[in-house]
Amino acid sequence: MKKWCLAGLLPAMMLGACAGQKEPNTLTKEEIADGWELLFDGKTMNGWRDYNGTELTQPWHVVDGCIQAKGSGSDGDGYIVTDQQFDNFILDWDWKLTHGGNSGMLYHVVENPYFKVPYVTGPEYQLIDNEGWEEVNAPDTLQPWQKLGVDYAMHLPDMEGVTVNPPGEWNNSRIVFDNGHVEHWLNGKKILEFEAWTEDWQARKNSGKWEHAPEYGLGRTGVICLQDHGDPASFRNIKIKRLPKKEEGKKAIFNGKDLTGWKAYGTEKWYVDEEGLLVCESGPDKKYGYLATDDYYKDFDLTVKFKQLANGNSGIFFRSFVEEPAIVHGWQCEVAPKGEDSGGIYESYGRGWLVQIPDEKEDILKEGEWNEMRIRVEGDHVQTWLNGEPMADFNDEEIGKAQGRIALQIHDGGGIKVQWKDLEIERL
């Protein structure tokens, strides 16, 4: 994996040098040639809007060449986001706070009306005046995971040798996100480095502040977000350089041994049997149950084999997200008894059936035998095949906007038992 060397970063991050070389909120010819883009033109709020909105109504404005939060935001509002989404990138910006100020830069933020605030999906580089905040809010004190430069509530920085300019003066920060490799920089020094989505990352997520935020940090793409946390904050020289996506090829998402990489929601049964098959089985509560990946997939080609041992009313969700304790929102490729549209697409909220299967195709399903379902989703284009025969082929704008997990379903009502194997996926 490519690493970004300190020698190459320092010239671009030395604030005094940059100030002497060019006007704020501009790019040099070399930067443009290297792929950098400005996210703020220094004059207008073009390219920014409310979180979950279509226009800018939040109290952010341009003052003296800076994007500035007026300081009237709160935990529940005051967030603005970029029009564009970004996956792998180097994000660089200057910032300054008032005494006791609190703000943040978030990325990979997923927008959906269900998510009322961006931090339940997007990681945050914390921006805060540590000492001033504690003076203003005494006797409250900051926890280590709340301080300047942290990957909020997840990873702590090493601030040794870092000079932080006081409130009212400019500092510079940088986030590198390179296919899961993450770095935080502050005033020319790397203060934090970690790998996203590893076992350690999952353990941190599931044991702290994000324990009941199941979608936190899973997005591989999303909008950039600025936070108004009730204190005036200023930003300038916000620029980003896109990095290439690493090609992964086809991979297995079930290891044939245990449920590593998956998480069960609800009280129904999910287990691996003695033959190495994944089994879903109704439990005593006879309710809906789900087994969802720990990872998000946007564009993908998925193949799954299944055998319906009893009432086979199940399904494969895609671009979905979890509402605890056991609700999945998204789109389902139906796996059901004969005559009930296996291979069709159902939306779990709102519109219901998007594609149902013609009666003449119902015999493609082999009850009591192994079947293969293939699902390909690219942009807004969805295709499904059952045992090699095309079942659904359509475009949908709402699906095109989404990303999310793969999730297997147990339908409610009881009496269901389905075996699964050979779950393989390729990111597109």
Report the alpha-carbon angle 381-382-387, nearest 5. 145
How far is the C-alpha of 309 from the C-alpha of 417, rounded, in Å?
A: 5
Average pLDDT over residues 131-144: 96
Res. 11 pLDDT band, cuts 50 70 90: very low
- Find the range with the poorest average confidence among 60-64, 121-125, 141-145, 228-232: 228-232
Neighbours of 20 (CB within 10 A): 8
Tell me, what amino acid is at 363?
D
Res. 229 pLDDT band, cuts 50 70 90: confident
Residue-level pLDDT at 21 = 53
- Find the range with the poorest average confidence among 64-78, 263-277, 278-292: 64-78
Residue 7 has pLDDT above 80, yes or no: no
Residue 356 has pLDDT above 90, yes or no: yes
Average pLDDT over residues 72-98: 92
**Phi and psi for 35 in degrees, rounded to 5?**
100, 10
Which tokens in the block code for residue 43? 């004059």
Residue-level pLDDT at 17 = 36
Residue 322 has pLDDT above 50, yes or no: yes
Which tokens in the block code for residue 293? 């990946």
Tens digit of pLDDT for each residue in 330-339?
A: 999 999 999 9
What is the dihedral angle through the alpha carbons of 113, 178, 155, 144, rounded to the nearest 10 degrees?
A: -80
Residue with tokens 């896109």: 242
How far is the C-alpha of 339 from the C-alpha of 306, rounded, in Å?
A: 17
Contact 428, 297 (CB under 8 A): no
Give percent of the chain with pLDDT exceeding 70.
Answer: 95
Instruction: Indicate the pTM of the whole model.
Output: 0.91
Q: Chain-wide mean pLDDT for the chain?
A: 93
Rg (CA), the chain: 24
Residue-level pLDDT at 3 = 39
Give percent of the chain with pLDDT exceeding 90.
Answer: 88
Residue-level pLDDT at 18 = 37
Average pLDDT over residues 314-326: 95
Between 201 and 230, the higher pLDDT residue: 201
Residue 230 has pLDDT above 80, yes or no: no
Residue 278 has pLDDT above 70, yes or no: yes
Residue-level pLDDT at 13 = 41
Residue-level pLDDT at 205 = 96
Domains of the chain: 6-242 (2.60.120.560), 250-427 (2.60.120.560)
How far is the C-alpha of 291 from the C-alpha of 259, rounded, in Å?
A: 9
Average pLDDT over residues 397-418: 95
Residue 20 has pLDDT above 80, yes or no: no
Q: Which residues lie closer than 8 Å to 10 by C-beta, 6 or more apart? A: 188
Between 22 and 58, the higher pLDDT residue: 58
